[in-house]
Amino acid sequence: MRVARFLTPLLFAAALFAQHTYTLADIENGGRLYLANCTVCHGPDGDLQPGVNLGRGKFRRASSDDELEQIITKGIPGTGMPSHDLTPQQVESVVAYLRSMAASGHSTLPSGNAARGKAIFEGKGECLNCHRVHGSGSYSGPDLSDIGLVRRTAELEKSLVDPNAEILPDNRVVHVVTKDGKEMTARLLNADTLALLVLDAQGQLHSYSKSDLREYSLMKDSSMPSYKGKLTTQEMGDVVSYMASLKGAETR
């Protein structure tokens, strides 16, 4: 999974600098818990179980947050919904995430064709200039090989249409200038009071001692270009279908 892959460099960094990370702490807790505990059965959009849709804010068996918390903690006896060994605080954050799924809207693009989307992704969309899928492409943006498992359709769509709306902390880009004048723009993997760890477009890790840097700054805007107006809505729908089909397994 993406999370596991992302953790590896962080753990590595932690060992390197014996530091804590702010990137992970920033990430919405409930979303992570959902990803770790619920996606396997309910899917990123919450609609994988027949008759159940966790993404709409309406539930057959619960109306209040308390009832949802009960269901998550105790499961639903006699069904496939298991109990969960989570702290009350964790359960609350999962409920908050379920509520946010409903609030974050629904798809507005026409439904697409994944095969056409793949052709656009690799061709005219030039997505591989920045992203990797199953081992080909660049490292300057996040690897999208399993993006269909971890992001909802509405989120994939938002990445294309309005990429600055929500940049995940693990996707932040930093610009550094060293005291001897070298410049680099790269993905920030980790930062603490003394050092930065970044990943460049070739997949090389670099660590900088802050005392060796003339300046460093987080880039406010995403380097992910908006495709609004560059691709037709049908083409964007196709690319979103292709990304929704990327579930980690290599298809060589």
- Applying CB under 6 A, among 19, 29, 37, 100 the residue interacting with ligand HEC is 37
Instruction: Report the distance separating Cα 98 and Cα 132, nearest Å.
Output: 29
> Which tokens is 101 given?
């799924």
Q: Which is nearer to ligand HEC, 156 or 195 (CB)?
A: 156
- Applying CB under 6 A, among 149, 197, 239, 244 the residue interacting with ligand HEC is 239
Contact positions with ligand HEC (CB under 6 A) in 159-178: 159-160, 163, 167-168, 171, 173
Q: Near ligand HEC by CB under 6 A, which window of 7-15, 17-25, 74-82, 196-204?
A: 74-82
Instruction: Report the distance separating Cα 238 and Cα 119, nearest Å.
Output: 9
CB 239 within 8 A of CB 117: yes
Residue 105 touching ligand HEC (CB under 6 A): no
Smallest distance, ligand HEC to C-beta of residue 193, A? 25
Interface map 119-138 toward ligand HEC (x if CB under 6 A): --x---xxx-xxx-------
Residue 118 touching ligand HEC (CB under 6 A): no
Q: How many CA atoms lie within 13 A of 170 on its CB side?
A: 16
CB 175 within 8 A of CB 184: yes
Smallest distance, ligand HEC to C-beta of residue 179, A? 26
Smallest distance, ligand HEC to C-beta of residue 202, A? 14
Instruction: Report the distance separating Cα 148 and Cα 162, nearest Å.
Output: 18
Residue 80 touching ligand HEC (CB under 6 A): yes
Secondary structure (H, E, C), 89-111:
HHHHHHHHHHHHHHHCCCCCCCC
Q: Which is nearer to ligand HEC, 17 or 173 (CB)?
A: 173
10 Å CB burial of residue 99 (0-12, 13-18, 19+) is middle
Residue 147 touching ligand HEC (CB under 6 A): yes
CB 81 within 8 A of CB 75: yes
Interface map 186-225 toward ligand HEC (x if CB under 6 A): ------------------------------------xxxx
Give long-range contacts, CB 8 A cutoff, 24+ apart: 166-173: 167/222, 168/27, 169/22, 169/23, 169/24, 169/26, 169/27, 170/6, 170/23, 170/24, 170/27, 170/142, 171/141, 171/142, 171/222, 172/23, 172/218, 172/219, 173/218, 173/219, 173/222, 173/223
- Applying CB under 6 A, among 22, 74, 82, 204 the residue interacting with ligand HEC is 82
Residue 68 touching ligand HEC (CB under 6 A): yes
Residues at the contact surface with ligand HEC, assessed by CB under 6 A: 37-38, 40-42, 49, 52, 54, 59-62, 68, 71-72, 76, 79-82, 84, 94, 121, 125-127, 129-131, 140-142, 147, 151, 156, 159-160, 163, 167-168, 171, 173, 222-225, 227, 239, 243
